[in-house]
Amino acid sequence: MRRIVAGITTLEEHLETIRQKPEVYRPLSCPHCGIKQLRQHGYYYRKADRRAQRPRLDPVPICRYHCAGCRRTCSRLPECIAPRRWYSWSVQQEVLSPRVGAAPAGCGEHGQPAARSIGRWWRWLRDRGALFAFHLRARFPELGRASEFCGFWRQVFSSLGLPRAMAWLDQEISVP
């Protein structure tokens, strides 16, 4: 199942989509049993707004769906919220950019993550980078021109951006 809904790049867009078209988040089938009988089952709330400025949008509602077959729940996240992580993909790209030799992507409006978090993200990218590169190069041939690790990720950050790359990878493999 795709856990990331591509194209919703800001928390404001996410809140508007939930108000106007929450069915965008409905999975086609249950990720656990495959039955296509899912109904909306309320929301759970997540702290996703790590911006330094006020007012923050926290807590952010995430649509939850209930399966009539296996009676389990599931949910999907917008592109701007990273699954199982406190910081968004854009914040991660911002702090990882200097490590791959790219200019920082953002303007620094987010709180600075802890050094341990940054190190953990870097190890995760190094460990899974070859698998990610394989899938991204298969879909985006222009990324094949970069031969070494840092050059490849510089090119990904400048052309796709980490949020879009992870949303696309989520269609193929489990990302985080």
Clarify whether residues 105 and 74 are in a common domain. no
Total of domains in the chain: 2
Clarify whether residues 19 and 63 are in a common domain. yes
What's the confidence (pLDDT) of residue 123?
96
- Provide the domain limits for residue 135: 89-169
Tens digit of pLDDT per residue, the chain (176 long)? 588 998 999 899 999 999 999 999 999 999 899 989 899 999 999 988 776 665 778 889 999 999 999 999 999 999 999 888 888 888 899 999 999 987 765 545 556 788 999 999 999 999 999 999 999 999 999 888 878 999 999 999 999 999 999 999 998 888 87
Residue 165: other Cβ atoms inside 10 A = 23
Q: Is 32 helix (H, G, I), strand (E, B) or coil?
A: coil
What's the confidence (pLDDT) of residue 74?
94
| Residue 26 located in a structural domain | yes
What's the confidence (pLDDT) of residue 1?
58
Q: What are phi and psi of 55, to 5 degrees?
A: -80, 150
Clarify whether residues 93 and 165 are in a common domain. yes
Name which of 81, 17, 101, 18 is nearest 92 in CA terms: 81
Clarify whether residues 95 and 153 are in a common domain. yes
Of the three residues 33, 51, 78, the one that is the final residue of a domain is 78
What's the confidence (pLDDT) of residue 16?
95
Clarify whether residues 49 and 113 are in a common domain. no
Tokens coding 33 = 């049993």
What's the confidence (pLDDT) of residue 173?
87
Clarify whether residues 159 and 98 are in a common domain. yes
Of the three residues 38, 58, 78, the one that is the final residue of a domain is 78
Clarify whether residues 61 and 100 are in a common domain. no
Clarify whether residues 121 and 63 are in a common domain. no
